[in-house]
A and B are shown apart, each in its own frame.
Chain A
Amino acid sequence: MEFGLSNDQSLLQNQVARFLKEKVPLDLVRAVAEGRQTDRIIWSELTELGLPGIMIDESLGGLGLGLLDASIIAERLGYGVTPSPFLTSAIIAPTVLQLSKQREDILSKIVTGETRVGIAFNQAIRPAHESGFEIKNGKLDGSLLFAIDSDADYYLVADSDKTIYLIDRNSAGLESIPLSTVEKTRSSAELKFSQVEGDKISDDPDIFDKAWNAGLVGLAADNLGAAQCALDQAVNYANQREQFNRVIASFQAVKHMCAEMAAQLEPCRAMVWYAAHAFSDIPEESTMMASHTKAHLSEVGQFVTRTSTEVHGGMGFTDLVGLHYWFKRCGFNRQALGSPELLRDRAAIAQDLVP
């Protein structure tokens, strides 16, 4: 019995952590967030480590690893608020294309970093806004809001029946318009379809659900890392900042905020591992675990980034310290692929608790 990361997984995680610390400091994150730089430079560096192909079969040049391995990378990317299309291009798209056995050409190009694939799943998940597409004359008409990754070369889009289409960004009739959001380390877009040619990838709802689950675990892992970094920053700051002739970390009011963050966050680590493990090895628990894990991590991530900001006092609220990048990272992760309420409902449905 062994419930934890293997030596290889720990090595991989440490390697990526060192790499990100050195190559993607907050200054670079800020440059991307402010539009002075794109995340392409970061993605090509991550490609040298083989990360885009982490879940892609070795026969296509990938590393052929599982969702747990991808999650520990996502955790580090969240820790560093690293701008990258990892969630969509390295987790969700490979899950869809490999399960449906489609478009190996695209998978090979994800591995080499030549191609990135965005997603727009919210019509299938539940539209919180007036958007959606339908098929007319065998082609896509309509629009989708908040597609993830405005810089993608392809998009996987899903309709209300969980049928998935692959759209080439350069297709005639497709307009992709970047949408500003509070989160600047990952990009969103509106996709407008006017008789756009779509490549039907899958009409198996099970494949959609699996890709959804993989994405949820990836987001939860990203949140785990982001919240951990927010907690670490709070503790460091409190240990240095002096008021009333003592470091504020010696005040119980401050210590208890940090203890509460740690108490809520630490079990999340094991929960993310378990959800990732269930995805491949305990399929009957996968939907329930993925939904619960992302919902729970969303709550904890919000609590931790908010509380960390409070520990920093007024400085936490400034752009200068940059803590808001972690706060907003968790804010994005909370809404993407379903809010906590929606996902808890999905967990209840998975247990037959909903009429």
Chain B
Amino acid sequence: MDLSFGPRYEDFRSEVRQFIQEHGSKSPQAGNSGSKKAMAWQTLLIENGYAARTIPKDYGGYGGSPDIIESRIIAEEFSKKQISTGLGGQGISMLVPVLLEMGSEAQKKQFVGPTIRGEMLWCQGYSEPGAGSDLASLSTKAVIDGDDWVINGQKIWTSTAHLADWIFCLVRTEPTKPKHQGISFLLFKMNTPGIEIRPLVDMTGDANFNEVFFTDVRVPKDQIVGERGQGWMVANAILGHERGSLAPPDAAQSRLNGVIKLMEEKNFAGEKVIDNPVFRDRLMKIQGRILAMKCNDLRLLSAKINKNQDTQLASMIVKLQGTELRHELESLAIDVMGELGLAYGDNPYIKGGGSWQYQYMYYLGLIIGGGTSQIQKNIISERGLGMPREPKIERKD
């Protein structure tokens, strides 16, 4: 056991702190991704290696060699000072890693740089009304006509579709092949004729997602990642990337600290919720579970660095445990506030900008999104515990 990163990394930590001290004031607020300030900050981060750190210089990145500990230290220090770690979004977090691994040289040159600088925004076209948990049964089809793919069909749960310049999209191109082998991964512009976007308002009151309709959308046929029929493999590489990041234990811990603050506030009678033993026990129960997930995270980090532990099961359970836990945590905050926990929108008595209410609902969405809890349990039992799959039912068609 050695939880320190050693002197070389402590030097690196000082460098990061120095940078934050000098430039931290230029950091935009979180969620302010489209602004000029956010783009300038992103450029500064890339120049100094705090964003796009391991992306080669040729493609617009910083060109550093991959180092898990350095990435961790950057994340820790930025989070401590609540400084933005730069632009996020599905283009940067999901498409870029895939392009670097499976894209052609031309695609890397064309897309990676503008994407990481925030000049090119992406959305993800995966789920369909008839293909949710059973994503591989998707039916949006693309056929070759001359030099183009012609796409028809519908996508749903497409976040940022209304803002995106481009979409990375799964479409069925080989209808006669088994479902997993008939899918291709296409890239195209969102302003292509034949694309219609309809916002999908969810329980938070916001339209976090959209429906996207394709009618004879023509896309040049070289805008494909990998070969025809390899799209499922490409998509799975990205989904693996998405799952672990939906429920980071550090974020849960910082939310927990927020609940503690809320519980320590005095009400008009001069009482604090934290002095109520029933509430305190609920808080402590959740804290215990967060600590377990933090320790699990430490183990996963160590396994990545030292490559000497089998942590397959330990990483498989993160999305399931993390999202359920987070939802319970937000729910505790609502109960702490009582009726004030109902306040929403322009209610003048709202606390914390309504973030508890919002996250309480949003995390219910995350329990479902990115592979539902039930799908997670299938994965855990089949791949983690070696239990057999449910017997298949013959296709209707």
Contact = CB atoms under 8 A, between A and B. Distances in A.
A277 B284 contact: no
Contact of A258 (B1, B3, B387): B387
Contacts of B305: 1-2
Interface in A253-309: 254-256, 258-260, 262-264, 266-271, 273-274, 277, 281-282, 289, 292-293, 295-296, 299
A261 B381 CA distance: 10
B390 A267 contact: no
Nearest to A260: B377
B33 interface: no
Interface residues of A, number: 49
Contacts of B280: 345, 348, 353-354
B388 A249 contact: yes
A273 B296 contact: no
B304 to A, nearest CB: 10
A317 B287 CA distance: 33
Contacts of B384: 259, 262
Nearest to B2: A2
Given A4-B302, A252-B378, A345 B386 contact: no
Contacts of A289: 291
Contact of A267 (B5, B283, B321): B321
Contacts of B303: 4
Interface string A317-355: 000000000000000000000000100110110000111
A1 B288 contact: no
A259 B381 CA distance: 5
Contact of B298 (A254, A259, A260, A274): A274
Given A1-B302, A250-B389, A344 B281 contact: yes
A249 B390 CA distance: 9
Contact of B295 (A2, A256, A267, A282): A267
Nearest to B277: A345
Contacts of B313: 262, 266
Contact of B3 (A1, A238, A262): A1
Nearest to B308: A4
With most chain B CB atoms within 10 A of its CB, the pick from A246, A255, A260 is: A255
With most chain B CB atoms within 10 A of its CB, the pick from A3, A239, A345, A348 is: A3
B77 to A, nearest CB: 16
A55 interface: no
Nearest to B295: A270
Contacts of A355: 275
Nearest to A232: B385
Q: Closest 9 interchain pairs by CB?
A: A344-B284, A259-B377, A270-B295, A255-B381, A3-B302, A267-B296, A259-B380, A296-B288, A270-B299
Given A235-B386, A255-B377, 8 more contacts: A3-B298, A239-B386, A239-B387, A258-B381, A259-B376, A270-B296, A273-B295, A353-B280
14 contacts: A1-B5, A2-B1, A4-B299, A251-B390, A255-B377, A256-B377, A262-B384, A273-B295, A274-B298, A296-B292, A299-B288, A344-B284, A344-B288, A347-B284
Interface of A: 1-4, 6, 68, 235, 238-239, 246-247, 249-252, 254-256, 258-260, 262-264, 266-271, 273-274, 277, 281-282, 289, 292-293, 295-296, 299, 341, 344-345, 347-348, 353-355
